Structure formats: structure tokens, C-alpha cells
Amino acid sequence: MNWDQLRVLLAIHREGSLRGAADSLGVNHATVARALQGAESHLGTRLFDRSQKGLRPTQSGELILPHALEMEKQIIEVERRLTGLDAKPSGTVRVSIPPSFAQGLFMEFLADFTQAYSQIMIDVVATNRFSDLNRLEADVSVRFAESVEDDVVGRRLLTYVIAAFASPAYIEEHPDIAEKQGEGTHWIGWGSDDEWVAKSPLPKASVRHRLPEVFMQAEAAANGIGMAWIPAVLGDKRSDIFRVPNVEARPDRSIWILLHGDLRETARVRAFVDFFSAWTLKRRNQFVM
């Protein structure tokens, strides 16, 4: 067996399906299927069984997975240490960021960063999932979170505020939103738990629709569907939604810039981290007011 086959087995184990493994590895379904078939043919045993919950490792699969994990750990360690020897600010930096930020303020940052470091290529991973820096899912993670417990290095840049936004027509139609605590209006939701409404400045507003991404919520607000409770730095940059009058903005989560310790001395990574930190803090008022 080779490492490519073991890497596929680990992906199947983590994702529970051939399709999920293919997506996580950035290859097609047929490539994953061939790798699994090749490994099973080489070993002369079945490694995964199908079940209602997806693919589950057989006894043989359970036996081989710890060795595959150990090999993955060693390969990642070698890659990190080799990357850490890089002393020139050029090459690719893989950056994980939330989709809402990727579609908003990050492009302004990227334009400025490109002018300063024309030899550095940024490879963006837009995801709400926290990327595992220890497994090199990204070199740098820009994370919106209350706290960070990963074994990584980095810093908290600032705590941003969220505010209620709606279209001009919606605000005009409901001129006394704050006075009535939202009665007769609607929040645009984002998850199955609506307990946040009771703790919001407009607890009498009801939830209309649930949209998983901030940019979807902002679009819904712009189309007069209701009010969106979103980061002020994103909402304030739009011309089709405005803060709901007399509704106070509130502190939400913090913005963190994180990287694995082995990459601290890598020139291109250090350049990105330092530039992003300085660029963001220079615009602090846009995030906190």
C-alpha cells in the first residue's frame, strides 16, 4: 500500500462516504472508489462495510486505521518543518475564513495585501467550520469565535459588534420598531434555536425564515423580508440596508488570527499574519461601533 491509498482510507473514515471523502480530498468519486478497491485488493480483505449511516470500517479497517493516522501525523510534521524553513515572502498561503467575511471586507484587504506582497498567492478556504491547523487544512485561520482552545498560536484582534439592519422601506413601514420592542415585525433567523430572540433588543419580533449565511440574511433584509442581526462592519458597507433606529449594537464574538507554531518563522505566513493584523486594527472603529 502507498500513502495515497492510506490517505483515502482516512478520508472515508472521517467523512463516512465515498462522496464526502472525495470532496474533502478535492478529487472525484471515481478516484476514491479506485483507491479503496486497490487497497482492498492488495490486502485481500474488505476494509469498509456499508450501513444506513454510511461506510463503517470492518475489523480489518479498524486494524489499519491507527497506522494510517500515525503515518499522516509524521508526514504532516515533515511538511510543517520544511515549510518553516522558508525565508522568502513568496509562494502560497492557504487561509481559512468564514464565507460572510470572504464576500465582504476580505476583498478590500486582499487588494491592499496584493500591492504590498505581489509574490504571495492567497488560497482561500471559505468555510464556517474551524479548520484543523494541525492537519494543515490551512496555514492561517481567520476565525470568528468567543474563545480558541486549539493547540495553535495567534492572537485575538478585536471583538466586533452586531446590529439590527433592515431596508429603508421596512424601517419606514415600521417607524416605532424600538418603542414596540419589535412587535409586528420579523427577524430573519439563522438556525433551529430561536432563543436568541428573547435576549435581543426586539424580543417581540417573530422569526421569519432561517438563512444559514450572513450574506443571505443581508440580502433578505434588503428585499424587505425582515430585520437581520448581523456584524455591523458588513451591514454598514451596504447601501440597501441600514441600522434600525434606536436599536443599540451589541458586542458579539472576537476575530482571531491563528497559525500553527511551526509556521511562525515562515516568511510568507508571517507577512500575511502581520499585515492582516495591522490592517484590521487600523479599521477597528468599523468593527466596534
Using the predicted structure, report yes or no on whether residue 122 has a pLDDT greater than 90: yes
Q: Are 162 and 255 in contact (CB under 8 A)?
A: no
End-to-end CA distance of the chain: 57
163 vs 104 pLDDT, higher one: 163
| Global pTM exceeds 0.85 | no
Give the pLDDT score at 94.
92
Q: Name the pLDDT band for 113 (thresholds 50, 70, 90).
A: very high
* Cell numbers representing residue 251 in the block: 458586542
pLDDT band per the 50, 70, 90 thresholds, residue 67: confident
Cα separation, 265 vs 155, whole angstroms: 16
- Run of H or E residues at 110: helix 106-116
Question: Which among 4, 6, 32, 34 is positioned nearest to 19, based on CA atoms?
Answer: 32
Those residues with Cβ within 8 angstroms of residue 209's Cβ, 6 or more apart along the chain or in another chain: 188, 189, 220, 225, 226
Residues 156/175, Cβ–Cβ less than 8 Å: no
Alpha carbon 180 to its chain's center: 36
Q: What kind and span of H or E run contains 56?
A: strand 54-57
Average pLDDT over residues 56-71: 88
Least confident of 71-80, 221-230, 279-288: 71-80
Cell, residue 270: 508571517
Q: Is the pLDDT of residue 81 over 80?
A: no
| pLDDT surpasses 60 at 85 | no
Average pLDDT, the chain: 89
**Mean pLDDT across 116-128:** 91
Q: Give the pLDDT band (50/70/90) at residue 80.
A: low
User: What is the β-pairing status of strands 120-126 and 48-51?
Assistant: unpaired
Average pLDDT over residues 77-86: 64
Q: What integer pLDDT is reported at residue 221 of this predicted model?
A: 98
SS3 57: strand
Position with higher pLDDT, 25 vs 78:
25
Nearest alpha-carbon partner for 181 in 168, 197, 192, 165: 197
- pLDDT classification of 84: cutoffs 50, 70, 90: low
Q: Which residue has the higher pLDDT, 133 or 30?
A: 30
Contacts of 30 (CB under 8 A, 6+ apart): none
pLDDT surpasses 60 at 125 = yes
Q: For residue 159, is pLDDT > 90? A: yes
Higher pLDDT, 53 or 241: 241
**pLDDT of 216-249, one tens digit each?**
999 999 999 999 999 999 999 999 999 999 999 9
Q: What is the spatial distance between Cα 258 and Cα 147, in angstroms, rounded to a whole number? A: 12
Interatomic CA distance for residues 142 and 101, integer angstroms: 9
